[in-house]
Amino acid sequence: MENHLSKTELLRIRIKHDPANGIDEMNDYVGYVLEEDGVGGVVAIVPGMGPEPMSFGPDQFEPDQQCGDPLTSFKKHVVDYLMAKGYHDQVSQSMDHIINAKDVTELEKLVQTCGCDSTVVLNLYRDYVSNEAIR
């Protein structure tokens, strides 16, 4: 079923991790929107959670970045990565540049201006690739 769903034009979403369900965050689920309710909720089929359609509120899912623009996904990763490394002020000051970057080269230069050396930049790419492979 998943092979057929992945070939459709259905909007893909990621079901947000709920710590109460005891599932590791890296095992979030991907679902496919079947219907929108007009107020932010969706009815989706989530192969990893069974064959029945399920309803989700707007706070329970997010767009799956794999279906969107890869550069946008990488920009989000850069921000998350730098914030996790403690570069809060630099990210805040550079947010417009990050949003308006046209390619990864611009983002790489920006990361270096935050005080990151080439090893940090390489680790940023490695982290992005390893996280994308899991999704």
pLDDT tens across 16-44, in order?
755 555 544 445 677 888 888 878 888 88
C-beta of residue 39 within 8 angstroms of C-beta of residue 57:
no
Query: Where do the domains of the chain lie?
Result: 2-63, 70-134
Contacts of 41 (CB under 8 A, 6+ apart): 55, 56, 57, 58
Reading the block at residue 8, the tokens are: 């459709």
pTM: 0.50
Task: Report long-range pairs for 23-29 (Cβ below 8 Å, ≥24 apart).
Answer: 26/134
17 versus 13: which is more confidently predicted?
Answer: 13
Q: Which residues contact residue 5 at a Cβ distance below 8 angstroms, ignoring those fewer than 6 apart?
A: 32, 45, 47
